[in-house]
Amino acid sequence: MTHPSAGSPHAFRVQIYYEDTDHSGLVYHANYLKYFERAREHLLGVSELVRLLNDDGIGFVVYKCELTFREGAVFGDSLEIRTTPRRESEFRLVFNQDVYRGDKLLVQGLVQMVCIDRDKKLVRVPESVLARL
Amino acid sequence: MTHPSAGSPHAFRVQIYYEDTDHSGLVYHANYLKYFERAREHLLGVSELVRLLNDDGIGFVVYKCELTFREGAVFGDSLEIRTTPRRESEFRLVFNQDVYRGDKLLVQGLVQMVCIDRDKKLVRVPESVLARL
Amino acid sequence: MTHPSAGSPHAFRVQIYYEDTDHSGLVYHANYLKYFERAREHLLGVSELVRLLNDDGIGFVVYKCELTFREGAVFGDSLEIRTTPRRESEFRLVFNQDVYRGDKLLVQGLVQMVCIDRDKKLVRVPESVLARL
Amino acid sequence: MTHPSAGSPHAFRVQIYYEDTDHSGLVYHANYLKYFERAREHLLGVSELVRLLNDDGIGFVVYKCELTFREGAVFGDSLEIRTTPRRESEFRLVFNQDVYRGDKLLVQGLVQMVCIDRDKKLVRVPESVLARL
């Protein structure tokens, strides 16, 4: 995986296995939300996310998401998730997340995230996370 | 499950198990798309969907979806998926799908579906399906 | 779902949706472990399992499992999970869990469960659970 | 990932995300079967598996599996799946698949695979696959 710089999106690879597909022969639509989550975690930094959760009790939750499916992926595909994060407010991050197979755009996503504490109360996005964007 | 009549939405129950949750203690966000799919299949008629696929080679695919998460569900919850279908065009169905725990609205969804044939080409929504709406 | 009595196994129904299948056209093998979990939770009592977890900090975990796959299930199938529980020791429950489509046995399973407390230490199976077997 | 040679097992990395865990805080038990499948596909060669399926109509299915869970994995873990394949007969492959976090063995697995053709009939394991073991 590579890190965004000078406006280029963060790129993350996803390999498509049996588990990802359904009997239509295509990737099951809900699974793209999983790939988006994996990509966001690498972008934000897995070890920092673990530390925030264990030490500070702060976790990320999806508030809104939108997906548009243009073409299906199949078993054996190697997809690239291209993620462009944006600080929407003190409380909200927005991620444009698109799925490519080679040059071809398969799925377009938009995911809004917020942070909650141990009591499930909304809290500000931590500075340590903002610094990664 | 009950069928919609006189404007009341189709209601479908989902029980929350270990498999549905993640380490935050809440239902993993992508899983609501699975519950929506289950509800739509019962609304449209599972046996007719199987017949369409096997005999006519026609399947349904999600074209767009939007989700807004207001509150999380937890292990042991019994949720109700309330679905209101609408014929958007000859080629597209739109489903409003909301998740309730008792009176409380947890998640709001909007799902647009289209039909494809064996060659993954767009086809009209079959009459047998429209008759169920 | 029905409760076991006089040696007859506990019966639990599972409907097969798109989410359950993979591109082979059959149910993805790992999913049978999910169906087994759902059946066990109804057999043991969901509300008691929730109470044990929240009040006593006691949860169930799988220690061992074995599966034999004889025939695959497909989209639209309505399966019956037949579960026969057994108290193996003060610390261990064993469940024979078989998957039927009508009269036909599709999958045979054997699942061993133990209980752990909040510190992930092994504890005795609670009396309230044993009373259900 | 690395390839087996001189008796050393094939090693495959799995990163643990939100999607992998359940509300106990640990990885959901059924998911290890997914990690095993991913590892086997890389060991056998994804592109050859795709070719066998598309050109020859030959797919792999799990016939039996056994799992023993010694310790749970958590969010943020990077696991190694160590796989040792064995030709059991002309029709069956057996894979020992163990899950490690560093030096610690978390889960032990044994998976038996067979091959089927388009009519779901048992066929010999293809030579192209045996050559990889």
Distances in Å between the Cα of C131 and the Cα atoms of A118, C85, C86, C128 are 35, 12, 12, 5
Residue in B closest to D20 by C-alpha: B22
Q: Which of A89-103, B94-108, C2-16, C44-58 is predicted with the least confidence, judged by mean pLDDT?
A: C2-16
C-alpha–C-alpha distance, residues A14 and C56, integer Å: 40
Domains of chain B: 10-130 (3.10.129.10)
Given a cut of 60, is residue A5 above it in pLDDT? no
Backbone angles phi and psi of B62, in degrees to 5:
-75, 130
D29-68 in b/e form (b: 16+ CB < 10 A) is: bbbbbbbbbbbbbbbbbbebbbebbeeeebbbbbbbbebb
Query: Predicted ipTM?
Result: 0.94
Query: Is C30's CB within 8 Å of A19's CB?
Result: yes
D117 is catalytic: no
CB contact under 8 A, D75 and A37: no
Inter-chain CB proximity A75 and C21 less than 8 Å: no
Q: In whole angstroms, give the CA distance from residue B27 to residue B73.
A: 6
Q: Which residues of A touch C18 (CB under 8 A)?
A: 22-24, 28
Which among C120, B28, C40, A34 is positioned nearest to D72, based on CA atoms? C120
Tell me B2's DSSP state. Answer: B
Cβ C15 vs Cβ C6: under 8 Å: no
- Name every chain B residue with its beta carbon within 8 A of the beta carbon of D69: none
pLDDT at A10 exceeding the cut of 90: yes
Report residue B132's pLDDT band, with 50, 70 and 90 as the boundaries. Answer: confident
Identity of the residue in B23, B74, B75 whose CB atom sits nearest the CB atom of D21: B23
Query: Can you read off the two tokens belonging to residue B132?
Result: 């169920």
Residues in contact with A5: Cβ distance below 8 Å, sequence separation at least 6, in sequence order: none
Residue C95: name the closest of C66, C56, C59, C54 by CA: C66
Position D132 scores a pLDDT of 86
At residue B98, what is the residue type? D
Residue of B nearest to C34 (CA): B19
Residue in the structure block whose two tokens are 């380490």: B23
By residue count, chain B amounts to 133
How far apart are the CA of A31 and the nearest CA of chain B, in angstroms? 7
- The tens digit of pLDDT for each residue in C68-125 reads 999 999 999 999 999 999 999 999 999 999 999 999 999 999 999 999 999 999 999 9
Q: Which of A29-33, A34-38, B128-132 has the lowest mean pLDDT?
A: B128-132
Give contacts of D 69-108 with B, CB under 8 A: 74-75
pLDDT, tens digit, 9 for 90 and up, residues D105-117:
999 999 999 999 9
Q: Are A40 and A32 in contact (CB under 8 A)?
A: no
Contact B24 A62 (CB under 8 A): no
The CA distance from B98 to A106, in Å, is: 27
Instruction: Give the pair of three-digit tokens for residue A43.
Output: 């972008």
Query: What SS3 class is residue D31?
Result: helix
Residues in CB range of C29: below 8 A, 6 or more apart: C67, C69, D33, D61, D62, D65
Total residues found in chain D within this entry: 133
Task: Name the residue in chain B with its Cα closest to that of A112.
Answer: B68
**What pLDDT was estimated at residue D1?**
47
- Which residues are CB-contacts of D76 (< 8 A; sequence separation ≥ 6)? A46, A47, A49, A50, D16
Res. B3 pLDDT band, cuts 50 70 90? low
Cβ distance of A65 and B61 shorter than 8 Å: no
| D61-90 residue pLDDT tens | 999 999 999 999 999 999 999 999 999 999
Q: Where are the alpha helices (DSSP H) in chain A?
A: 31-44, 46-51, 127-130
Alpha carbons C17 and C26: distance in angstroms, whole number:
11
B7-38 as b/e, with b when 16 or more CB fall inside 10 Å?
eebbbbebebbbbbbbbbbbbbbbbbbbbbbb
Structure tokens at B69: 């998460």
Name the residue among C15, C17, C50 with its Cβ closest to that of B75: C50
B41–chain C Cβ distance below 8 A for any pair: yes
